[in-house]
Amino acid sequence: MTTGDKGSGREGGRSLKTRVKTARKRSLSSTLWLERQLNDPYVARAKREGYRSRAAYKLLEMDERFHLFKPGGRIVDLGAAPGGWSQIAADRVKSKEGRGKVVGVDLLDMEPIPGVTFAVKDFNDDDAPALIKEMLGGQADGVMSDMAANATGHKQTDHLRIVALAELAFEFSFDVLAPGGFFVAKVLQGGTEGQVLARLKKEFASVRHVKPAASRADSAELYVLAMGFRGKEA
C-alpha cells in the first residue's frame, strides 16, 4: 500500500485537470470552451448549489461589496435567461417569501424560478416600462443587465455592440427606477463610452467599473455599477 499527499490536488503525479479530446465534428474552439467549462470551479459550484449559471457568483460578489439588495426591494433583470441573476435577486429581496418583487425580461422564454415573475418581452418596446412597473407594483429599486451581444471576434466591434446594449438598458432604467436605485450592466474592458459614462455620472450619485473575481481572468468583461439614482426632473 502506498500513501500520498491528499491535499496536493494530484494523483500519481498527474494533474487532475480534465482534458477533452477533439471530436471529428467539434471545432478546436468548441473543444477548448468545453474543456474550460469542465475545469471551471464556478461552473461546478453553480451545479452543486443549484444556480442556473456561473454568472450568479458575479452578482453575489457585487452585492456583498456594495449592498445592492434589500429585503422587500423591487428588481428588474434584463436579458434574464437562463436566470442566474434572477435567482440571486429573488433570494436577497425575499420575493420567495412574498416581501419583494423580481421581474425577469427576455426575448427567450425561461423556466420558472420561485419568486420571479417573467415576461417574454423586448424591453425596448414603447410599452415595456409601463408594463414592467405594473408587474413590479411600482418603481424599481434596481435594474440589472448581464446581456451580451453574440461575439464577432473583432474586438472593437464587440466592444461597441455590448456598450450599445448597456446604453439601451440604461435608457430603460431611467424610465423605471425609483430615486436612490441602482443600475448594473455588462461592458468590456475599455469601459463605458464617454458620453454614456457622463450621463450615468449626471444621473447617479456614484459610478464605478467592477470586475468580480468570478469573471474569468482572461475575459475582457467588466460591469458598470451606478448607485443612488437622482430621479427624473419634474
Does residue 157 fall inside a structural domain? Answer: yes
Q: How far apart are CA 36 and CA 125, in angstroms?
A: 37
Q: What is the pLDDT of residue 106?
A: 97
- Type of residue numbered 231: G
Annotated active-site residue in 186, 202, 211, 232: 186
Residue 26: pLDDT band with limits 50, 70, 90: low
Which residues, 6+ apart, have CB-to-CB distance to 112 below 8 Å?
A: 118
Domain co-membership, 133 together with 201: yes
Residue 156: pLDDT band with limits 50, 70, 90: confident
Residue 30: pLDDT band with limits 50, 70, 90: low
Does residue 195 fall inside a structural domain? Answer: yes
Asked if residue 129 has a cis previous peptide bond (ω within 30° of 0), the answer is no
Domain co-membership, 98 together with 210: yes
Grid cell in block for residue 203: 444621473
Domain co-membership, 21 together with 121: no
Domain co-membership, 31 together with 131: no
Tell me, yes or no, if 6 is annotated catalytic.
no
Strand 101-106's sheet: what is its strand order?
A: 116-120, 101-106, 74-78, 140-145, 177-188, 221-229, 204-210
Count of CB atoms situated within 10 Å of the CB of 58: 25
Grid cell in block for residue 87: 435567482
Q: What is the mean pLDDT of the chain?
A: 82
Q: What is the pLDDT of residue 193?
A: 67
Does residue 73 fall inside a structural domain? Answer: yes
Q: Tell me: the pLDDT tens digits for 6-25?
A: 333 333 333 344 454 445 55
Q: Tell me: the pLDDT tens digits for 192-226?
A: 667 788 999 999 999 999 999 887 677 778 899 99
- 226, 228, 233, 234: CA torsion to nearest 10: 140
Q: How far apart are CA 144 and CA 48, in angstroms?
A: 25
Cβ density class 74-103: b for 16+ within 10 Å, e for less: bbbbbbbbbbbbbbbbbbbbbbeeeebbbb
- Type of residue numbered 217: A
Please state the domain count of the chain. Answer: 2
Does residue 4 fall inside a structural domain? Answer: no
Note down the domain range covering 30.
Answer: 17-45
- Which of 82, 203, 93, 77 lies closest to 144 in space, CA to CA? 77
Q: Tell me: the pLDDT tens digits for 85-122?
A: 999 999 999 999 999 999 999 999 999 999 999 999 99
Does residue 7 fall inside a structural domain? Answer: no
Does residue 165 fall inside a structural domain? Answer: yes
Domain co-membership, 74 together with 22: no
The H or E element spanning position 194 is: helix 194-203
Domain co-membership, 62 together with 158: yes
Domain co-membership, 25 together with 85: no
Q: How far apart are CA 145 and CA 99, in angstroms?
A: 23
Q: How far apart are CA 210 and CA 134, in angstroms?
A: 31
Between 182 and 40, where is the model more confident?
Answer: 182
Domain co-membership, 39 together with 109: no
Q: What is the pLDDT of residue 114?
A: 96
Last residue within a domain, chosen from 27, 45, 63 = 45
Domain co-membership, 109 together with 166: yes
Domain co-membership, 97 together with 114: yes
CATH of the domain at 59: 3.40.50.150
Does residue 5 fall inside a structural domain? Answer: no
Q: How far apart are CA 143 and CA 174, in angstroms?
A: 9
Does residue 6 fall inside a structural domain? Answer: no
**Is the predicted pLDDT of residue 33 greater than 50, yes or no?**
no
Between 77 and 22, where is the model more confident?
Answer: 77
Domain co-membership, 21 together with 58: no
Domain co-membership, 101 together with 29: no
User: In the predicted model, what is the mean pLDDT of residues 63-82?
Assistant: 97
